[in-house]
Amino acid sequence: MRPYREAIVLAGGFGTRLAHVVPDVCKPMAPVAGRPFLRFIMDQLAAACFDRAVVADGYRREQIEGFFGPAYRGTAIEYSPEETPLLTGGAVKRALSRCESDWVFVLNGDTWFDVDFEAMEAAAVNVPDSVSAVIAVKRMRGFERYGTVDVDAGGSLTAFHEKRPCEEGLINAGVYLLRRDALNNMPEKFSLESDYFERVVSDGELRAVECAGGFIDIGVPEDYELAQTMLAPLAKSWKLALFDRDGTINVDTGHLYEPEKLELIPSTVDIMRGYSDDPDYKVVVVTNQAGIAKGLYTEADMRRLHRYMENELEKLGVHVDAWYFCPHHPDYTGPCECRKPAPGMLLSAMIDFAALPEDCVMYGDKVTDKNAAMKAGIDFEWAGV
Ligand SMILES: [Zn+2]
């Protein structure tokens, strides 16, 4: 079962080098293939089932927060705005104070790198306490605008080198898995790269994982142009198969949160598998979880169950692409727009996946599911009953 995944996304950059190309937006929100660049990163996190993202923003943060709000495709989002520029290290340190996991991913909001999150996590297992970070490195050829790194046979990162013309070499690609307490002794404002990584590298505190995925730094005008075509395939719209949870995917035992009580409904699993196998479809769960409002279990309990369900469903050939939940109940938290029969969760999923109503179908076992589908303007099918 995968661990609880948290990421910090550095999105506070001013984007001076791009100012003449996209003057009115902050760099992470610069349009790429018709959508804000940051959305590709948030999609990457959602696809890897990140539970939580802390976006360290600042300049023009209203653009970012207005677009993403408190959650995106099932990943909860918090914001850690910097009032004064803290540099990368200061921004990460501040955001880390909002994190809970022992290890936290850090991504740059102006760089696309298709990293292998699992390989990075694996590199942080059973390492000495002194190891403070795993750095994703990328092999590049014929470049001069990046510094290079040395990595020894055991996977330790041993040296950083200044920018220079280079025929082939490994570069620090700006995606890290950082121990949560790594920066405790650092000041408020510092550069993560030059003031921290380059200082601790000689103590053997850094590990490296080479990732072969696509890499692009939109902070550079040439790459910004290249990104328009490179990321276009990722900007497609999807068809959606939305599923209610309790009573549809699993037997409704009433306020389920314990993994050991999970009982999947085979007929629904079969339907889900059909969509999961179809490359045009995304499989999404939309579930009312009023037990959170009532204090019967916590959001963390629910997320643990969902990770378990995800794992059990994967064994049966079903991949769930996103989970949407409503933690509210009108008697406890007041009215909301997400609790079915309101269509809020369905509409969020449709926005996040750029899905048209005619390309969506909702499966459920209750009239509230049917009414939510009707209000969202999409087809409904009974399932699980
Ligand atoms: Zn709600």
**Residue 267 CA to ligand 1 centre (angstroms):** 28
Write down the catalytic residue from 43, 57, 217, 244. 244
Query: Taking residues 132-154, what's their average pLDDT?
Result: 93
| 230 and 246 co-located in one domain | no
| 204 and 84 co-located in one domain | yes
Q: Which residues surround ligand 1, an ion (CB under 5 A)?
A: 326, 328, 336, 338-339
Write down the catalytic residue from 51, 57, 217, 246. 246
Can 150 be counted among the known catalytic residues? no
- pLDDT class of 1 with cuts at 50, 70, 90: low
Query: Taking residues 105-115, what's their average pLDDT?
Result: 94
| 45 and 172 co-located in one domain | yes
| 208 and 249 co-located in one domain | no
At residue 49, the pLDDT reads: 83
Query: Taking residues 198-213, what's their average pLDDT?
Result: 92
| 154 and 187 co-located in one domain | yes
* Range(s) of the domain holding residue 270: 239-382
Can 246 be counted among the known catalytic residues? yes
Quickly tell me which residue has 């969509």 as its tokens: 275
| 79 occurs within a structural domain | yes
CATH number of the domain where residue 350 is located: 3.40.50.1000
Read off the pLDDT of residues 151-196 as tens digits, 9 standing for 90 and up: 999 999 999 998 888 899 999 999 999 999 999 999 999 999 999 9
Of the three residues 199, 218, 235, the one that is the final residue of a domain is 235
**Residue 293 CA to ligand 1 centre (angstroms):** 9
| 111 and 219 co-located in one domain | yes
**Residue 290 CA to ligand 1 centre (angstroms):** 8
| 165 and 198 co-located in one domain | yes
At residue 16, the pLDDT reads: 59
| 1 occurs within a structural domain | no
Cα dihedral 264, 268, 269, 274 in deg (nearest 10): -170
**Residue 364 CA to ligand 1 centre (angstroms):** 18
CB 244 within 8 A of CB 361: no
At residue 19, the pLDDT reads: 65
